[in-house]
Structure 1
């Protein structure tokens, strides 16, 4: 008996020590693996640090204000409710992150008065209820569920009727799948179904200071990753190896992002080619895309060469650079969106690369926020007037088929005094990350 009393504690101590040692060994192994991975990266990429801790999430109070803004717009536009399915507008208003949109209808419905409500598959109720704890009016949000053999559209109709909306006007968010919009329209014949964009875009177009801060961080991270990849680029590297550097840079920075890289004649295709490409000295390299911080996007393009550019390449760069500056200089509250496109296009046309869309083949910019492309758009025919807080890309380009293309893209926002870039613009093909 005495010996067993001595043996038992010793055995327990051994097991506890072994248990304590296992996580430490695993942690050290993970650290060694991470160190090995970093050791294989170019110094500029390895030197990037995680920055996600700098992001300040959107508060519940701000989301509550978004609902009130939406209700005010609904009353002004004479809409009785807005129906939003899975996507960025759902996250924008409710904070719910449902994931991808499947073939099953999920709908978050905001009446012009009263609490929002949800129509979702029955097996999703627990997950949605959990998410609603941090949503505006979450405690008052009723969840209506449907089983797999039931019609979600009939449930939407009944749920609207319960709230006195058997007739009236309902807006549907623009990115809703046709099958969902069609199903809900047929289930509510007494309701007028209209485009809900005046409400969703009406709220989302002008960004708050908190949103601008998140977009600033996303742009800062993208530019730092691009610069690190540029410093790590080598002649003979494939375009996929280059985008791999950018992917590694985003991973080091703690964010999700992507990039395309087009070389030589493929840079004349604004959205590039799937063909494998090799970086060669003196050829144009065009990189594009961005990252996401707390759901807010960046979208930056840089054009550069490794080695000495030709006179023609430099000439085209200078024209595009002037066009980008002209677009920003034209911006101020009250100016129509189409005027920004015209300012850039006039520069390109005057330099002999017109007329119209001949070589500058796309609009000068798009709205940006929680979607990489969102309302409003800087394009001819759009008479929407700029407001402080609106955010856009500024991305003129000249594309010469079979030779090369140059595009310069930075994101910017409207201030009471004019347009302001989130990031410094490119100086030249040899100094794509110099301060402008």
Structure 2
């Protein structure tokens, strides 16, 4: 559908590493320790072929060169990572203590943020080697580290959104009635891949009463004429996420289904209209939630209005009451209010939105009216 974007360069990764070091200093940290996972990919482009019990850790400390500690047998792969020119590599061999090898990079009594997906055994190993160091979660200490996207990242997120939109347009044409939820979920996964996704993260198909469970896992329920069906799907394209939800109806909807859908659609529009630089994240949640509460369905909106998206499909910032982080141009997040009526049906409508200089821009652009499927 779209041309493949140019790969990120060593300079791009060097800039991200410098940004991380600066953010750590601003937060009063002595550095950050990054395990294999999305943070490591974003900072270095390195994704180990397998995540094992062997320690791999990136140490980024203000005033020092970033160092990637890797097992010796994986060093050749690490040397080929696109961000490797901006790093020093330190390898350790089986039989050595990897925590003793990492300890000199941290210092005896520093305070560090550790990526959220680090294995407990590795964090405990570092604590044994350096008992006077303290650690906090990276998302807690630096929640906005990856939140503001540059132009190249926005290009990838826009392409991912367009691929998800193409998937939705195609799925409306497949048979629903008489097929299992898992059948439609398989169609969604196939379409996401057809339109360029290399990774499918989720394909929610919640039909009838199953739609009242926001994260319903597609099952063996046979979709019937008269069902409302929540579709929520996404994954990674060019390393960046898509995530969209639409609610369709098998045949003509009844008055109740159409009324609830209209309320959610209007609430979603209110949330998107609220997006602009400088407002707190919670204001997006408030705008969408107020419309649903005013319509008398507040108790049935049971989740936050949105989450950030980037190299993962869920990341900060979060659109939820109490989140006072101001919106900044380049932030990308979902706006996805919903109403869930237990035992009956659910409705959710979701778009990814990016903050612009004067408002917000949707990265999903398919129709938000209730589509009729067959």
What's 1:69 paired with?
Answer: 19
What's 1:189 paired with?
Answer: 131
What's 2:351 paired with?
Answer: 410
Note if contact 2:246-2:349 (Cα within 8 Å) is conserved in structure 1. Answer: yes
- In structure 1, the residue corresponding to 2:194 is in which secondary structure? helix
2:73 maps to 1:126 = no
Note if contact 2:165-2:366 (Cα within 8 Å) is conserved in structure 1. Answer: no
What's 2:273 paired with?
Answer: 329
2:108 maps to 1:158 = no
Aligned counterpart in structure 2 of residue 379 of structure 1, from 308, 316, 320: 320
- In structure 2, the residue corresponding to 1:393 is in which secondary structure? strand
What's 2:118 paired with?
Answer: 176
Q: How does 1:182-331 map to 2 (within 5 A)?
A: 182-197=124-139, 201-256=143-198, 257=200, 258-273=202-217, 275-331=219-275
CA distance in 1, matches of 2:138, 2:343: 43
Q: How far apart are 1:217 and its partner, in Å?
A: 0.3
Instruction: Quickly say closer, same or farther: Cα 1:100–1:399, change in 2 above 3 A.
Output: farther
2:93 maps to 1:146 = yes
- In structure 2, the residue corresponding to 1:153 is in which secondary structure? helix
Is there any run of 5+ residues in structure 1 with no aligned partner, and where? 1-50
| Greater Cα shift, 270-279 or 335-344 | 270-279
CA distance in 2, matches of 1:77, 1:229: 46
Q: How does 1:103-114 map to 2 (within 5 A)?
A: 103-114=53-64
Instruction: Quickly say closer, same or farther: Cα 1:200–1:127, change in 2 above 3 A.
Output: farther
CA distance in 1, matches of 2:2, 2:250: 31
2:52 maps to 1:102 = yes
Q: How far apart are 1:306 and its partner, in Å?
A: 2.4
Q: How far apart are 1:390 and its partner, in Å?
A: 0.7
Note if contact 1:368-1:391 (Cα within 8 Å) is conserved in structure 2. Answer: yes
CA distance in 2, matches of 1:95, 1:200: 20
CA distance in 1, matches of 2:42, 2:174: 37
2:360 maps to 1:419 = yes
Q: How far apart are 1:136 and its partner, in Å?
A: 5.2
Q: How far apart are 1:194 and its partner, in Å?
A: 3.1
CA distance in 2, matches of 1:301, 1:429: 12
| Greater Cα shift, 231-240 or 212-221 | 231-240
- In structure 2, the residue corresponding to 1:232 is in which secondary structure? coil
Note if contact 1:89-1:200 (Cα within 8 Å) is conserved in structure 2. Answer: no
Misfit runs of 4+, over 6 Å: none
CA distance in 2, matches of 1:111, 1:69: 11
CA distance in 1, matches of 2:176, 2:63: 60
CA distance in 1, matches of 2:160, 2:236: 6
| Greater Cα shift, 186-195 or 377-386 | 186-195
What's 1:392 paired with?
Answer: 333
CA distance in 1, matches of 2:328, 2:372: 33
User: Taking CA–CA contacts closer than 8 Å with sequence separation of 6 or more, which of the two structures ends up with the larger relative contact order?
Assistant: 2
Q: How far apart are 1:144 and its partner, in Å?
A: 2.6
CA distance in 2, matches of 1:311, 1:84: 52
CA distance in 1, matches of 2:128, 2:314: 30
Is there any run of 5+ residues in structure 2 with no aligned partner, and where? none
- In structure 2, the residue corresponding to 1:222 is in which secondary structure? helix
Q: How far apart are 1:274 and its partner, in Å?
A: 5.0
Note if contact 1:116-1:137 (Cα within 8 Å) is conserved in structure 2. Answer: no
Q: How far apart are 1:170 and its partner, in Å?
A: 2.2
Q: Deviations over 1:56-85 (max 9, x none)?
A: 332332222112211222222232221100
- In structure 1, the residue corresponding to 2:214 is in which secondary structure? coil
Instruction: Quickly say closer, same or farther: Cα 1:289–1:251, change in 2 above 3 A.
Output: closer
CA distance in 1, matches of 2:366, 2:271: 13
CA distance in 2, matches of 1:375, 1:427: 25
Count matched residues.
Answer: 371
CA distance in 2, matches of 1:125, 1:273: 39
TM-score when scaled to structure 1?
Answer: 0.80
